[in-house]
Amino acid sequence: MLLKHIKGDKTIWAVVALLALFSFMPVYSTSTNLVYVVGKGSTVGYLVKHIVLLLMGFAIIYLVHKIPYRYFSGSSVLLLPVVVFLLIYTLLQGTTIGGANASRWIQIPFVGIGFQTSTLAGLVLMVYVARYLAKNKDAKIVFKESLWQLWLPVGLILALILPANFSTTAILFFMVLVLVFIGNYPIKYIGYIIGVGLVALTLFVLVVKAFPGAMPNRINTWQNRIENFSQKNDVEQYQVEKAKIAIATGSLIGKGPGKSVQKNFLPQSSSDFIYAIIVEEYGLVGAILVVFVYFLLLFRIVITVRKANTVFGSLLVIGVGFPIVFQAGINMAVATNLLPVTGQTLPLISSGGTSIWMTCFALGMILSVSASKKETEKSILDDNPLEILHETIG
């Protein structure tokens, strides 16, 4: 029986399955936008692709949750230079969309699927930060040493993500700050880092303004999003206005599955603004149920944190688990016009490949911690990354 082979928190498994199953109808419904407006593919084709991506995601969860979570500690050290290389390679492609720099994806050879390298980089970085905090839980942290061991990798990865994806950079930076705060990193040092981050962002904006050809229209895009958010009647707020209409016409129980009108007019209705279509089709009841399911996931993540046998296990779950729920909150806040447009998808519901796979990888690590028996902090943190590499190859 299948249940005998899955380990860890059964509620998390149930939540993931529920979100995946629920996603079928919204993705199928919103795919008409791509078919009839953009003129690509078929609604059934998009649904089949989404189902295949989810099945691959569940395979990732299953395989990852079978790996003892102590291996993720050393692996994060090995993968840091890999993700740095991938981020540099992604930026050098120089992809532009609508005249704006959008170097976020690389194509997976022979598959034809785009891979957003920043999502992998964010996952690896959070594990690395959790490892650092666990290794230094009983030590007096020296700020100068932590600059090299902790903040140099963080700063490098954020700097490589920033030119093409400000929202992901901001979210990742915030999540790192939350993790180091929970991990008892000195508060005054966190203040220093926030100051350095603000100065670095200011310098980046000034440099790009001085040399606009280096990053075409990126600063203007950020500026327009903020201005459009503050100017409620601005004509350029087409996406937000259509999302508002979808939400306003959803009423209590909605128009019914597949009966959305705004899906045909709302760009990114299958990804960034899928929550607005959910509200239109399933009403206030559906909207609240989706929020409840994510809160249930957050609750079970907190339970897993409390039950973890090691500090690294707890910090690992916080580092890879909280961003999932946080991203969901941002997506729903954007759809309801509480935040400016960010381009963040709704985890496990929005269509997409990389976001689904990386979310599933993170959930697999959480379930690995949940399923773990007795572990010792020393055995985890003393793992030599080179030995892990040797075991993997061997």
The amino acid at residue 146 is S
Q: 100-101 and 96-97 as β-strands: parallel, antiparallel, unpaired? A: antiparallel
Q: Of 5, 4, 8, 1, give the one whose Cα is nearest residue 371.
A: 8
Average pLDDT value for the chain: 83
- pLDDT tens per residue across span 155-203: 999 999 888 788 889 999 999 999 999 999 999 999 999 999 999 888 8
Q: Which segments of the chain are extended strands (E)? A: 96-97, 100-101, 105-108, 113-116
This prediction's pTM: 0.86
Lowest mean pLDDT across 103-107, 340-344, 366-370: 103-107
Residue 33: what pLDDT?
73
Query: Which of 100-114, 132-146, 232-246, 364-378 has the largest mean confidence?
Result: 132-146
**Residue 42 to residue 34: CA distance in whole angstroms:** 8
**Residues in CB range of 269: below 8 A, 6 or more apart:** 30, 33, 260, 262, 263, 276, 277
- pLDDT tens per residue across span 192-237: 999 999 998 888 878 777 766 555 555 555 555 555 555 554 534 7
Q: Of 336, 238, 324, give the one whose Cα is nearest residue 279.
A: 336
Q: What residue segments make up the domains of the chain, in order of their start?
A: 2-393
**Residue 153 to residue 176: CA distance in whole angstroms:** 12
What percent of the chain has a predicted confidence (pLDDT) above 70? 80
Residue 393: what pLDDT?
45
